[in-house]
Structure 1
Amino acid sequence: MSPETSPATLAEQLARAGHLAPAWTDTFARVDRARFLPDRVWIRAEDGADGYRPVDRAADPARWHALAYEDRALVTHVEDGESDGGTRARVPTSSASMPRVVARMLDALAVADGVSVLEIGTGTGYNAALLAERLGDRQVVSVEVDPRIVDAARANLKSTGYAPTVVTGDGRLGSPAHAPYDRTIATCALHTVPYALVEQTAPGGVVVLPWGTGLYNGVLLRLTRAGDSTASGPVIGDSAFMWNRGETPHRDVMATVRARSQPPAATTTSLDPRSVFGDEDATFTAGVLVPDCRYSVGHGPDGEFTLWLADHATGSWTSVDFVPDGRTSYGLRQHGPRAIWDEVEAAYAWWREAGSPVRTRYGLTVTPAGQHLWLDEPGSPARAPRLPGPV
C-alpha cells in the first residue's frame, strides 16, 4: 500500500474537504476500505456508453487500489454482469457508498460511547466496521437481506478483526431480538419508513435514513423517536442510495409506453418541463405529490427532448416535447387512468404558491398508522402538501 492509497490518506482528504467530522477522523484512518471491496468493482462507463464497466484487481491492481481510496461510490454487485461478455452491466444491486456520504450519515447519528446501533443494509461490512471501531462490536447489529452479501460481509469483518452481530433478514423488520437501539441507520433508499425501525429505537434515539420517490432519489432524513411512539425530523440534505429491494420502482419507463400501440391524441401544455425537472426542489415536491411514477428523457438534435413519465402499475404515461424555439406551449400526450401531467401541473402550482420551498424545509413524521410529510413544522396540515394518501 503506497502513502497515496491508504485509509489514513482517505481520512485526511475527507477531513480537509470538510466531509469528515473530527470525532470520526481517527476511525476512518483505522478502517481500511479496500479490505471490504470485492476483487471486481464496477464504475460508471467513462466512454459515454450507458451502464457500468468492471475494474478487476488482478488485471489492473493500480487502478483498483486507487478507486478503493477515492471519494466515490463503487458498485459491488450487479444483476446483469455477464452481458457484453462481462464487460458491461446496467443494473447495480449493491455498492460501497461514497465515503463522504458514509461520513455524513455517521456524523448525523451523533453517537457517543455506550450507545447501540442498528444498521439496515450491511453491504460490504465497511459501515458496520466503522461503527464497531468507534463503539465496540457488542454495540452494533447489522441486517442484510441477501445471503451472498451477508457471507462476504462476515468474511470481510472477520478478516479485519471486527465482530458486530450480522443478521440475514429483511431490514424493514429490523432485528427485534436485539432491540431497543439508541441509533438506527439505513443504507438503502426507502419511501415508506417501516414502523418497526421506529418501534425498535429507544425514546430519544435517532433514525437516519435515505428517503426518496420515483422521481427523486433522494434526501437524507434525521428522525428523533419521541416518547409517544412516533418519530419525526427534517430533511438534512441529499443522499441518493440504491432502493430497498422491496420498494425498487419499475425501471423501464418506456416499457409502459410501448405497451400501447397507438399513441393518444396530442394536446399542449403551457408548463415548461424544465421548470419542474430542471429544479431539484420542484422535482422533489413533484415526486411527493405525483406518487408511483418514474421519468425518462429522450434527447434529440439541437437541444430538443421528450420527457416521459409513467406509472407502471396502472399503465398510465405522459410525454412532453420540448423544442428550444421560444415557444410557450409544448406538445403533450397522456394515456391511461391517470392524467399524470395534470398532477405534475397541480404539484408545481402548489410548490410555487408555497414559496418554492427548498428540500430542507420538509420533514417527515412516522406513526403506527403511517407517515406524513410536512413543511416547516410538524403537525401543520395547512402548510403541508395535500397528499393522495399516507406517503
Structure 2
Amino acid sequence: MNAPAQVMLTRGLLAEVAEQFGYPVPEELATALGQVPRHHFLPETVWVRDGQGGYRPINRSTDPGEWMAAAYADQTLVTQFTDGLPTSSASMPSMVLRMLQLTKVTAPDGSRQQPFSVMELGTGTGFNAALLCALLGQGAVTTVEVDAVLAEQGERNLKAAGYVPTVVQGDAARGYPGSAPFARVLATFSVDQIPLAWIAQTAPGGRIVTPWTSAWCCYGTLALTVSASGAAEGRFHDFASFMPMRPSSEQDTANGAAAQAIAAEEAKSATELSPWAVAGGDLDAEFHLGLTVPGAFFSWDTTGEHAPVRLCVEDTTSTSWATVDYDGANSTEFTVTQAGPRQLWNEIAVAYASWEKSGRPDVDRHGLTVRADGRHSLWLDSPDRPLVDDRVLPPG
C-alpha cells in the first residue's frame, strides 16, 4: 500500500476514534497511530462478527479491499482461534487508545511524559507494544506473552515495523522481574484479581491498568496506583470488554457439578425481580452483581423445553444453581427454583436491591483496594464504604 493511501486510511480511522471519544484524538496518540500502521500487525486472515452470533473470515489474498478496510476500521478483529474459540484479537483502536490514556503514558494535553519503563502484559499482534514504543521509545517497553506462537509472531511484527522492545515469552501473571520496577503496567486481557507480582514489580506511585471480568459480567477497566507499602488502590472505569487472561476450567467443572446437583433437594419460590433486570444487558447492574455475587454466572434458555424463557444461574465455586422462569404471560412474578449450598437467586436479589438503594451506581463509582497481603476489598465511592459487608476476594 502506498503512503498516501495509508495516510487516508489512518485519517479515516482517527475520525472514527474521535467520534467514539467525543473529542479529537490527542496529538501525541494520533502521531503514534500514524507511525504504527495497523495492517502490518495483522495476519493474512482475520475474523469479524457475522451478525448471527458467530464470526466470518476475511482473507487478505482473496479479499484485499475488505481486509484493508477491516484493518483500518474501529472494530475488534479476531486473529487466533483455539479449539473453535477466539483466543487472541486485535482490539478496537479506540479502546487501545483509551487504555493508553488511562495508563497515563501521555500528559492530559497529549504531550509525552518523562521517560519511564512500562510492562505490557499480552503482546498479541504487537500493535499496542509498537504504539508504546512510538510514545516512549523502545528501550522503555517490555512486553510479555504466554503463547509462544503469538510471542514469536508479535516480535516479528515489531521488528518489521522497526521496533525492538524486550519481548518475553512467559506467564503474564508473573510479570517480568528482570526489567522491574516499572512505572506503568498495562494488561491487554481481563482479570478478576490482581496478581501480586504486578504490584511487586510496579514502582511506588506507579500505575496498573487492566480490563476487568467476573463470572457474571466481562466489562470495565481498573486503574490502580501502587503505594510504597506494597498496596494498590483505584477505581473502575466504564469501558472495555477483553478476553480473559486464561480460559476458565472452573466454569466447565461447575456446569457438570450443577447438573449432578439437580437431583438434590430443590427449593421453589416466586420473585418479582425480573430476570432481565439482572441479566438483560444493563452493564451497570451486571457489573455490580459480578463484584458482589462472586462465582455466579448465567445463561438464557429459550428452547421452551422448561418454560418459554428461563434464566439459568450457576456457580463456579460450588454445585449451587438456580432457575428463574417466565411463563410467557406474567411479567410481574417469576418462578424460582434453587438447589445447592448457596441460594444463588437470593444472593442476586439482595445484591440488586442494594444496588438500587445506592442509587443504581454506574461502573465508575466502584473501586478496589489490594492490600499488601493480597486481599482484595471492593468499595463504592470511597474505600471507607465497603461493598456487601466488606466482601474480600481471596488473593490470586
- State TM-score, norm by structure 1: 0.89
User: Corresponding residue for 2:178?
Assistant: 177
| DSSP 3-state at the match of 2:21 | coil
Q: Which moved more, 1:279-288 or 1:191-200?
A: 279-288
**1:86 alignment counterpart:** none
- Residues 195 and 367, structure 1, Cα contact 8 Å, conserved in 2: no
Q: Is the 8 A contact 1:289 1:387 kept in 2?
A: no
> How many residues are paired up?
377
Q: What does the per-residue CA deviation read over 1:49-73, in whole Å, with 9 as the maximum and x for residues that have no partner? A: x322221112211111111011000
Match of 1:148 in 2: 149
What 5-or-longer segments of structure 1 have no aligned partner?
Answer: 81-88
Deviation at 1:78, TM superposition (A): 0.9
- 1:12/1:348 CA distance change after superposition, 3 Å: closer
Q: Distance in 2 between matches of 1:329 and 1:18?
A: 41
Aligned-partner Cα distance in 2 for 1:307–1:243: 24
Rounded Cα–Cα distance in structure 1 between residues aligned with 2:62 and 2:144 = 33
Q: Which of 367, 372, 376 pairs up with 2:377?
A: 372
SS at match of 1:232: strand
Is contact 1:191-1:247 (8 Å) kept?
no
SS in 2 for 1:306: strand
Q: Choose the corresponding residue for 2:37, options 16, 25, 32.
A: 32
Corresponding residue of 2:131: 130
Q: Whole-Å Cα distance in 2 between the matches of residues 354 and 376 of structure 1?
A: 10
Distance 1:368 1:59 in 2: 54
Q: Would the aligned equivalents of 2:377 and 2:391 in 1 still touch at CA under 8 Å?
A: no
Alpha carbons 1:216, 1:287 under 8 Å: kept = yes
**How far apart, in 2, do the equivalents of 1:252 and 1:71 lie?**
36
Q: In the alignment, which residue of structure 2 is the partner of 1:83? A: none
1:72 to 75, 92, 112: 75
Q: Distance in 1 between matches of 2:255 and 2:48?
A: 25
Is it true that 1:54 corresponds to 2:48 in the alignment?
A: no
Give secondary structure in 2 for the equivalent of 1:212. Answer: coil
Shift of 1:252: 9.1
Equivalent residue, structure 2, for 1:345: 349
Q: In 2, Cα distance between the equivalents of 1:119 and 1:247? A: 22
1:51 maps to a residue whose letter is G
Instruction: Say if 1:106 and 1:285 are closer, same or farther in 2 by CA, change over 3 A.
Output: same
Comparing 342-351 and 30-39, the one that deviates more? 342-351
Q: Structure 2: where are the runs of 5+ without partners?
A: 106-112
Q: Which residue of 2 aligns with 1:106?
A: 100
Q: Does 1:9 align with 2:12?
A: yes
For residue 41 of structure 1, what is the amino acid of its counterpart? Answer: V
The 5 Å alignment of 1:186-265 reads 186-245=187-246, 250=251, 258-259=259-260, 262=263, 264=266
- Inter-partner Cα distance in structure 2 for 1:246 and 1:354: 33
Per-residue deviation at 1:219? Answer: 0.8
CA distance in 1 between counterparts of 2:88 and 2:298 reads: 22
**CA root-mean-square deviation:** 2.4
State the match for 2:338 in structure 1. 334
Distance 1:231 1:71, change over 3 A: same
The one of 326, 329, 348 equivalent to 1:325 is: 329
Aligned equivalents of 2:220 and 2:33: distance in 1?
24
Over 3 Å counting, the alpha-carbon distance change for 1:16 and 1:284 in structure 2 is closer
Aligned equivalents of 2:236 and 2:309: distance in 1?
Answer: 32
Local SS of the residue matching 1:356: coil
Distance 1:236 1:161, change over 3 A: same
Distance 1:248-1:207 versus aligned 2 partners, 3 A rule: farther
Q: Tell me the residue number matched to 1:84.
A: none
Which of 294, 298, 311 is 1:291 aligned to? 294
Report the AA paired with residue 283 of structure 1: E
Question: 1:145: how far off?
Answer: 0.5
1:110-156 deviation per Cα after TM superposition (whole angstroms, max 9, x unaligned)? 12141211101111100000000111110000011010110110111
The 3-state SS of whatever aligns with 1:245 is coil
- Contact 1:253 1:308 (C-alpha < 8 Å) held by counterparts: no
Partners of 2:229 and 2:391 lie apart in 1 by 26
Question: In the alignment, what sits opposite 1:95?
Answer: 89
Question: Cα offset for 1:356?
Answer: 2.0
2:110 maps to what in 1?
Answer: none
Distance apart, 1:258 and its partner CA: 4.1
Compute the displacement of 1:306 (Å).
1.2
**1:291-344: per-residue Cα shift (whole Å, max 9, x none)?**
11221112368x952111111442221111124534422011112222111111
